[in-house]
Amino acid sequence: MEILAFGVQADEKPLIERAFKGHHEVRCLDVFLNEDTAPIATGYETVSTSVNAELGARVLEVLAAGGTRMIAQRSTGYNNIDLKAAERLGLTVARVSYYSPYSVAEFAWTLAMAVNRHVVRASTRTRDFDFRLDGLMGRDMHGRTAGVLGTGKIGEAFTRIAHGFGMRLLGWDVAENPVCRELGMEYVPKEQLLAESDLITLHVPLMPETTHLLDAAALKAMKDDAILVNSSRGGLIDTAALVAELREGRFAGVGLDVYEAEAGLFYVDRSLEAIEDDTLARLVTFPNVLVTSHQAYYTEDAVGQIIDATVNNVLDYKAGRRSENVLVPRS
């Protein structure tokens, strides 16, 4: 069986080809799966997709009509997949339920420290041999308060690092993490966390209940000099409301690895094109904002685990086995 993999980055391609060697043939494409590219999958029983694939009902119908029977998504999140439509069409869907939480947690801290210590501005200056310190003053993290929204595996890893900095720890989640408790975390209502935290980080999944978890009211409840980091999903923040707050001169720094309208933009070179997304264009102009292109997971360790899990998902499908990664079982 030959597998068609969409949205494969250059660094990923040799890893995917090596992982599938001896099991199945794999054809890697750098284009992302959407309504325009879905016909390419005609004749492929199994398709592997990236986190930015558009797997709504229409795309799934095109895949099913072309003979696809299994979708192996190379990510933990699956808010981009219409699971009800997949079930109706008889498509098996699997994801990667676990990969290194340290990859995302460490990158969230990278963003936090970069905006706190103005690393990008300092680097740009020194390239021009401008060695002034004006405007580069940051703050110690030691003794300040970290608010962690979502204390699962990634939130726990972030909390361990915050504990190492000597920070006061506040958490919010539907279920408390005993490890975070042992590290000294106090679980509080979201409103209290927002009001008291100097650093706020998001580590919750995107679902209807968490969409715009940080809306206009929540953003206004934060400290004027807070640092906000989102390395989870863009839709957790109302970006238009965030831009409005930034225009008022609020927040010491904002680090975003995700953006709610990133599909079709991230992972693609748009440097020679006019960006039609006015919100994103405005967002990147703020001197206290750092935007990266959904790369928090992108380490050798995490990507290797994602690919290995994807291979196992395909092998399980062919063998008729079912694992915790299956979202829609084989009919």
Catalytic residues: 233, 262, 294
Q: What secondary structure, in 3-state letters, does 69-130 show?
A: CEEEECCCCCCCECHHHHHHCCCEEECCCCCCHHHHHHHHHHHHHHHHCCHHHHHHHHHCCC
Other Cβ atoms closer than 10 A to 258: 24
Structure tokens at 25: 């043939």
Cα 326–313–41 angle (5° rounding)? Answer: 95
Burial 151-178 (b: 16+ CB within 10 A, else e): bbbbbbbbbebbbebebbbbbbbeeebe
In whole angstroms, give the CA distance from residue 13 to residue 226.
39
Report DSSP state, residue 161.
H
Check if the beta carbon of residue 10 is closer than 8 Å to that of residue 267.
no
The end-to-end CA distance of the chain, in Å, is 19
In whole angstroms, give the CA distance from residue 50 to residue 32.
7
Closest listed residue to residue 177, CA positions, set 201, 160, 194: 160
Check if the beta carbon of residue 48 is closer than 8 Å to that of residue 70.
no
Check if the beta carbon of residue 234 is closer than 8 Å to that of residue 260.
yes
Contacts of 315 (CB under 8 A, 6+ apart): 23, 321
